[in-house]
Structure 1
């Protein structure tokens, strides 16, 4: 007889753990950028509507996990009707999580390295060009890349080895509470900088002209893309946390709180970035350059900048590490649930596997810098990001949609019963047509746009 499934210790732990999986780098460097580029508050309104449109997928992942009490890899087999083959797609949980972590561990390593650099004053006194050279120099050093990535992998696996309640829940709860406190402190500092008002207006005041210049369809696609990826669905990372959740609360209400916390962090991140950029006359760019080049320049110009810069990178490190630990738990639980492997042995196995699979990304900026898998200028990181973000996540999301809405899957009635078990917000039963036919078309549209953008830029 198998041992009873370990459960999370509290509702707060579940909410912070699930939100920690969703809150990541995209909240800080992508959401503020698209908001500023596509019309400020006008884009925020579109984004919130898009987020409402895709939140049911999060409820589905949580429901599948809670009903089956296991990882996505086994849950599909437990819940599928006899004679069907949904279980053959269970590998999405393992392969998708590995693909995500193959580059996420490297970028998280950059953040940990910058915590050290900011705290020790390594960036003090550098002009803007010097900060850019510093970042490029860090990328060019294989030793720094491998060491920082290894620290991330070791940390994630060590936390998961302690178990769900003693390790994953306890550590991520601490990180998330620390993240929120540091976030509020940074926001208060940023909005009180001289000239910060212009940045706040650029960020949040509705600007129909900017929206019109960018194109309403382009803005909607950007908002939908951000909403889709911010809730971290498609590879079972939310399924596993649903499996650790008791049935005393309805999953729709829990999903709404998770999405609300994720959105709060994204909006607050913009209230750090835009006021600071406008206060010091810096153009807020997107992507790694914003975090690792633009913002360090601002901290260098700010009174007490070394302290605020260190706090910022601790905040970023917590956001990234919480995602790493959550996805590592999904990977390790796959071996426990599907292969019947003891947790400690599974952790050791994936520590080695994740470390080896993360090497190409870290070395892609130095030893493997001549490798351009998606055309001139592309890196190994670009390929890995494209495979997971533009392909496997879409396939995994469609899998959950069809599994929960079709008769040959788990079925609509079974899904509704699980989603509505317990106290709280009820899932709207009238959404079946939308989820069965409309949302898959929206997802297909984002998938096609991703390839159009990729082919157009190559």
Structure 2
């Protein structure tokens, strides 16, 4: 069966960026910046994105484009005879499934809040009542379950139409709408009375504030965020490499994907920080920023119902483009490895994700339990465990495997990787000795630092 390709370069870039752009950008990035001193964190984030994110992204795309297959068969096509690199392909499939077992629930939260703002549920509420809305949602398995099911069914429905007619067509429009929404929301926040202070906090590097947090903490937080923002290590990007043409070089495409990803992350801060400062709200409120802090801001803002609805529509689009991309990866793996038709893959994968997403939904209420660990959060332990396995283990470990596969003589090999990465028109990786040494000896150590820090 002939493998589908993207109908256009724009389609590839928007779908790939849609996979990278998710809750990590628009939720985690702003509060990480807020709690790590603002501008200094942003500078380090951009540096690590260039020296870590872009190289590993080119490697995932190179494996996909050279093999024209999903993770397991992609490794098999390129690995030296008798080697076992393809075993990591199965861990990639497990990682994608694990990610969707909780990501669908969080995407459902975004859709739920969009619905609440659109229908005026927050109008006239006190701050305490707004905080109570989030707690009530977590306590209700039916409310969370309904929105999770809507996300899963809508995602698999889109993917059932195939790459061009489903994923590419819908993701393109959602990404363009997302980019338009983020600009409108950012302009609105910047123009608020008192918003200028938020801009200063966010964009002007303040070494004193960074030193208060600890410069080492700021640097490691920026390294972590720049690395995780691209969803590398579980073949979420590799699959799009397998649908790519050879017209353009991979470093050029990787830079474009990173630029879009970073644009959305930075713009999210332009929405959140001016609004927080305009209404006297702490910008380093942590994960509660989205569901407790920002709704308070919108309720007190002129036209808050509209701005709140638009913000959570934007958040829904950001999370749903990732859901679509990872669903496509899971389905493509089943089609490639088991010979299923797209229709069969859609039905069976949909049932599987629906069932395996239920523990995360129930982990906040009916299956609530506490972990006997210091500083362990109360409730949501199933989501925390699933997120830990994906974010702290499978992403960095998987990225390390892709890196070693591409640069070591025991894997695909550096020369073959470099040739694939530089095929086509555009930005090329230099064939210099320093780059080879950096990718072979320095980058693996940086990824190991992230892995060890995440585990311990």
Shorter-chain TM range is over 0.9
Could you tell me which of 48, 51, 60 is aligned with 2:49?
51
2:37 is matched with which residue? 39
2:223 is matched with which residue? 224
Q: Distance in 1 between matches of 2:190 and 2:74?
A: 47
Contact 2:249/2:422, CA 8 A, preserved across alignment: yes
SS class of match (2:280): coil
User: TM-score under structure 2 normalisation?
Assistant: 0.97
1:384 is matched with which residue? 386
* 1:437 and 2:435 aligned: no
* 1:11 and 2:9 aligned: yes
SS class of match (1:91): helix
2:173 is matched with which residue? 174
State the aligned residue count. Answer: 450
2:109 is matched with which residue? 110
2:291 is matched with which residue? 292
In the TM superposition, residue 408 of structure 1 has moved relative to its aligned partner by 1.5
Q: Deviations over 1:229-285 (max 9, x none)?
A: 011110001000011110000010000000001001100100000000000111124
Q: Which moved more, 1:28-37 or 1:165-174?
A: 28-37
Contact 2:20/2:231, CA 8 A, preserved across alignment: yes
Q: Distance in 2 between matches of 1:205 and 1:376?
A: 33
SS class of match (2:69): coil
**Mind listing any 5+ residue stretches in structure 2 that lack a counterpart?**
none
Q: Distance in 2 between matches of 1:61 and 1:130?
A: 46
* 1:277 and 2:276 aligned: yes
5 Å matches for 1:4-403?
4-54=2-52, 55-372=54-371, 377=378, 379-403=381-405
Q: Deviations over 1:93-149 (max 9, x none)?
A: 210001111110000001111111000011111111100111100110110111111
Q: Distance in 1 between matches of 2:78 and 2:221?
A: 35
Contact 1:419/1:426, CA 8 A, preserved across alignment: yes
Contact 2:393/2:455, CA 8 A, preserved across alignment: no
Contact 1:97/1:327, CA 8 A, preserved across alignment: yes
* 1:414 and 2:412 aligned: no
Could you tell me which of 387, 396, 406 is aligned with 1:404?
406
Contact 2:28/2:287, CA 8 A, preserved across alignment: no
User: TM-score under structure 1 normalisation?
Assistant: 0.96
In the TM superposition, residue 336 of structure 1 has moved relative to its aligned partner by 0.8
Contact 1:157/1:328, CA 8 A, preserved across alignment: yes
Contact 1:37/1:210, CA 8 A, preserved across alignment: no
Q: Distance in 2 between matches of 1:183 and 1:394?
A: 29
**Mind listing any 5+ residue stretches in structure 1 that lack a counterpart?**
453-458
In the TM superposition, residue 206 of structure 1 has moved relative to its aligned partner by 1.3
Q: Distance in 1 between matches of 2:98 and 2:129?
A: 33
Q: Deviations over 1:294-348 (max 9, x none)?
A: 1111110011000011000000000000000000101000001111111110111
Q: Distance in 2 between matches of 1:422 and 1:164?
A: 23
